[in-house]
Amino acid sequence: MSDPCTFVIFGATGNLAQNKLLPALYHLEQAGRLPDGMAVLGVGRRDWDETAWRAQVEADLASRVRGGLDAAVWGRFRERLFFFRGDLGDEAMYPALRQTLDQGPQFPSNIIFYMSISPANFGVVSRQLGVVGLNDERDGWRRVVVEKPFGYDLESAEILNERLHRDWRENQLYRIDHYLGKGTIQNILVFRFANLMLEPLWNRNYIDHVQISHAEARGIEQRASYYDTAGALRDMVQSHLLQMLTLVAMEPPASLDAESLRDEKVKVLRSIRPIPQSAVHAHAFRAQYARGKVQGEKVAGYLEEPGVPAHSTTETYCALKLFIDNWRWRNVPFYLRTGKRMAQDNSMISIRFKHPPQQLFRETPIEQLKPNWILMNIQPNDCLSIELQVKQPGLEMRTQTQRLDAASCGLSQYGIDAYEALLLDVIDGDGSLFLRFDEVNWAWQVVDPILKVWAMERDYIHTYPAGTWGPPETNRLFLRDDQEWRNTLEE
């Protein structure tokens, strides 16, 4: 069992805490995984006490936890919840917070500070915690969890990192990317490194290209103030999709400890071929959703969403073509794609193999052999599949695609949310699935030239009808005509 600790949530009354953090902690309580004596201290501006906050958490959890609220589990979890009223911008709050943590016997001396707040406040809260000595580890460990986005571009990320390091060591910082807590993402490591038969094939000699896609049917959902300043490239590609790329492309680490894993991921990011600003349009494409139908329902275009400026050119769809200049992957294209208001929700890694070098079947009724694929579906369902060609029953030589599915295909990941696994890792002090700053830095270096070019192009942006798989113009990124987007497992 892990050491008892105090889990401090800055922004405890916000959406992230309500929708993700508190339900995840409740489910860990239900599974018996929270340490004995652990306390959860919510920090917020509302004029509440423990009783009011506990009542609010109970109401929120009732509709968010799996199987409904269990009275016995809630009874245990309720006793862990405490509330501290304070404004993040008030310097006087932090000495009072320290006094509460020091003098309250219910608060263990090991402390996790979770920044469930606006990125603009990361540096402010970090500095004030350091000023009052809450970063001091003489009487217990201290850990800070920072949500994305980590910076707005390369320069702002470096500035934020410098501010955090004034008061915290790198091993105290946990930069969270919830995608890395998903079952299939972690399964990539097992799939690659626990199956020896794949290793000889996992390189430029056999793999034609790799696609990493994240499609969402929903729009921006009242997040215009954030999304219009971020866009799809910052929101998804710089973090989630590049992280998936590193896991697919990395070399076997020396061990599965946090530093060895992150060392190999950084090597991949460092090996990505830089995109000169003059070549951005050959490697990147952006677009914005217009009016359309999603699952039979008419939806507005991006410019018609509440809070979006009338002439915004913020991208809701983007696609990239990247190359990794190392021995394993030289000249194998990696295609990354993400978009909102797409035909359906689906996140998938698709790895296509090259065609056989000899056309043995050219004098048979087989017109063209379909390629082999390895498919890793991340959401809505976790799944690992391999597509092979087999002979159709009958007298003629014809083929059909046969899919070999892992046993979990079609099933949910036992209902486990990514935050549950990641919060447990923070409590245990396991940084394997969290980002080191050099990972963040190199990821920004990949996308920064694209951001700079797009920032200067404010007059026009391509559009695509909501409810489709994106604009057809994005196909210009492919190297050959026989390459095309793989949208779902069933294609």
- What stretches of 245-398 adopt beta strand conformation (E)? 284-290, 292-294, 297-299, 317-323, 333-339, 346-353, 373-379, 383-391
CA-to-CA distance for 110 and 4, rounded, in angstroms? 7
Contact status, residue 464 vs residue 290, Cβ threshold 8 Å:
yes
Higher pLDDT among residues 177 and 301, named by residue: 301
How does pLDDT run across 100-123, given as a tens digit for each residue?
999 888 899 999 999 999 888 899
pLDDT score for 355: 83
For the chain, give the number of residues: 491
Q: How large is the average pLDDT for residues 273-278?
A: 95
Phi and psi angles of residue 47, each rounded to the nearest 5 degrees, phi first? -80, 70
Q: How large is the average pLDDT for residues 248-272?
A: 92
How does pLDDT run across 188-197, given as a tens digit for each residue?
888 888 888 8
pLDDT score for 156: 92
Helix (H) or strand (E) holding 465: strand 462-465
Q: How large is the average pLDDT for residues 196-220?
A: 93
The active-site residue, picked from 27, 209, 214, 240, is: 240
Q: Alpha helices of 117-175 — where are they, by DSSP H?
A: 122-131, 154-165
Q: Per DSSP, what are the bridge partners of residue 39?
A: 6
The pLDDT of residue 365 is above 80: no
CA-to-CA distance for 487 and 280, rounded, in angstroms? 24
Q: How large is the average pLDDT for residues 359-373?
A: 67
Helix, strand counts (H, E) of the chain: 14, 17
Contact status, residue 324 vs residue 335, Cβ threshold 8 Å:
no
How does pLDDT run across 226-247, given as a tens digit for each residue?
899 899 999 999 989 999 999 9
The pLDDT of residue 206 is above 50: yes
Contacts of 278 (CB under 8 A, 6+ apart): none
Q: Per DSSP, what are the bridge partners of residue 144?
A: 113, 173
pLDDT score for 416: 64
pLDDT score for 413: 45
Assessment of whether the complete model's pTM goes beyond 0.85:
yes
| Banded pLDDT at 248 (limits 50, 70, 90) | very high
How does pLDDT run across 298-325, given as a tens digit for each residue?
999 999 999 999 899 999 999 999 999 9
How does pLDDT run across 460-480, given as a tens digit for each residue?
999 999 999 999 999 999 999
The proportion of the chain whose per-residue pLDDT surpasses 70, expressed as a percent, equals 95
Q: Burial level of 166, CB count in 10 A (0-12/13-18/19+)?
A: exposed
The reply to whether 27 belongs to the active site is no
Mean pLDDT for the chain overall:
89
How does pLDDT run across 138-149, given as a tens digit for each residue?
889 999 999 888
